[in-house]
Structure 1
């Protein structure tokens, strides 16, 4: 059997997440060739490219022409537009969450991938953790869940924060709903099903409390924040139903390991295998729920 060639992949973005996770994982994965970088800050792009021995591209289109796929580590509004252009150029996509903060943008991205026959995977970190991902799959198969609660509480903008992401303009603008909300939904939607009803209220800081009614008949509640005190921050998801009570396992792997699994999923789909459950269509579904929550907050 012929071994397929490695996937040439480029990186769009040069921020802390790109430098910490994306670039090292792209460079170390055995079946990808990290080929080039484009960034909105040329000096930072030069430094990142030099660290990994790859080329800097002045325009995104130049990068698209040199690769088979692109990984995106950009604010969602910037990501959505560039991802559509990359798909139209025939590039497979490894996207960050949320895929967009506008429903029309998210749907356009889905259309671009389908019309151009390219694969897309969205890096929901928890879904690509070995223990957490298996847990989600197992609970979805069991069914019979009555209710669920998720806490996704970060301290990025807390008074005692030392987070490297505290300078993130898009996170400060959009808040926890759009940053930690996708993580929580990536766990709840596969287990409880599509959302039919959304209510949302504000809490302290940027905290948002959501109540969701699912098509399965189950109900879920979410508490999301980026302004929690460090001592009170953390992640937890609990399900209750006919099978009893179960909770999301604590993450064991670093995000770099999860990112390698996301690359594996992209490689499988790009080579004609089945799409991963965290594909672009699922990413758009998450955006639609969050947009409804945003509308409820503003209504």
Structure 2
């Protein structure tokens, strides 16, 4: 992986903005791809507030939306992706997974570091192509699995991985996206198509896999209301886990939990505190560190590809009716 070094001063820049690009000074120059609710609520504020980033501009599939979001944050609205890539060191992506995978490959081939969202991709082919592009370019990648960048849950995950000896895990990740009034994500075409398996499934796996290891076998069943699905994993370390996922839970029943049982007893994932913007800021910290050190972050594109492969296997089982 190629290392990135923060410039000593803007006047000494030799990067993309040195020839008159729009960088505002200081830190890793980063652009945002995407203008939807998640980009507006999380990405743009996190990039704009981060002291180690120089938020350069926004590109979106709808130019008018890119212009509106860029105006709010005082940055440039780009009409051309390649023009944005020419002005930055890195990109943050807040787009549907299929679009993200395609544009992230393009950004990696241009030598840009990647702050991506989950899921990395919804097909194995797209996920593999992205990992290969990241490896070939030697760029850093961090995928924003929200729970992994919240301090209390992340500390708990690391502690349980050290403890080991787990017999079984149980997770529930229940959203009310399709049952709450005026939820900003309810109209998302990719969520309507892919459902909870792909939207909240990555969150559950991002907690279970670091503790229990990758699965040797995957079982999936679609029992319950709406998009509710159930996964059972046989993990390489010998433990099993069961997970229930849904975006059609009643609002009063929504929430997430993970419980582990093993030789040391019973423990549960602590409730996350704080807004998503600071968590995304910590993901940006991780990208800056990975780019500067050349050391991959645990939530890099390769880990996210493992999650994609598991979910793709589950989806195949669900569609085939195989249990």
Question: Shorter chain as normaliser: what TM range?
Answer: over 0.9
- Cα distance in 1, alignment partners of residues 53 and 120 from structure 2: 23
Residues 93 and 121 in structure 1, CA contact (< 8 A), matched pair in contact too: yes
| Among 146, 156, 159, the residue aligned to 2:177 | 156
Residues 140 and 294 in structure 2, CA contact (< 8 A), matched pair in contact too: no
Q: Aligned-pair distance for 1:189?
A: 0.4
- Cα distance in 1, alignment partners of residues 234 and 56 from structure 2: 44
1:127 aligns with 2:148: yes
| Among 164, 169, 175, the residue aligned to 2:189 | 169
Match of 2:262 in 1: 241
- Cα distance in 2, alignment partners of residues 52 and 181 from structure 1: 32
Match of 2:29 in 1: 8
| Among 253, 263, 286, the residue aligned to 1:232 | 253
- Cα distance in 1, alignment partners of residues 212 and 118 from structure 2: 20
Match of 2:19 in 1: none
**CA deviation map 1:91-132 (0-9, x unaligned):** 000000000001011111111111101000000000000001
Match of 1:181 in 2: 201
- Cα distance in 2, alignment partners of residues 32 and 98 from structure 1: 24
- Cα distance in 1, alignment partners of residues 155 and 294 from structure 2: 20
| Among 221, 235, 239, the residue aligned to 1:201 | 221
1:118 aligns with 2:139: yes
- Cα distance in 2, alignment partners of residues 137 and 59 from structure 1: 41
- Cα distance in 2, alignment partners of residues 122 and 250 from structure 1: 21
Q: Aligned-pair distance for 1:230?
A: 0.2
Residues 211 and 219 in structure 1, CA contact (< 8 A), matched pair in contact too: yes
Match of 2:84 in 1: 63
Q: Aligned-pair distance for 1:276?
A: 1.2
Residues 268 and 275 in structure 1, CA contact (< 8 A), matched pair in contact too: no
TM (norm. structure 2) is 0.90
> Unaligned 5+ residue runs, structure 2?
8-26
| Among 120, 134, 140, the residue aligned to 2:161 | 140
Residues 124 and 182 in structure 1, CA contact (< 8 A), matched pair in contact too: yes
- Cα distance in 2, alignment partners of residues 214 and 28 from structure 1: 40
- Cα distance in 2, alignment partners of residues 255 and 229 from structure 1: 22
- Cα distance in 2, alignment partners of residues 164 and 88 from structure 1: 33
Q: Count the aligned residue pairs.
A: 296
Match of 2:236 in 1: 215
- Cα distance in 1, alignment partners of residues 157 and 86 from structure 2: 37
Q: How large is the Cα RMSD of the aligned pairs?
A: 0.9
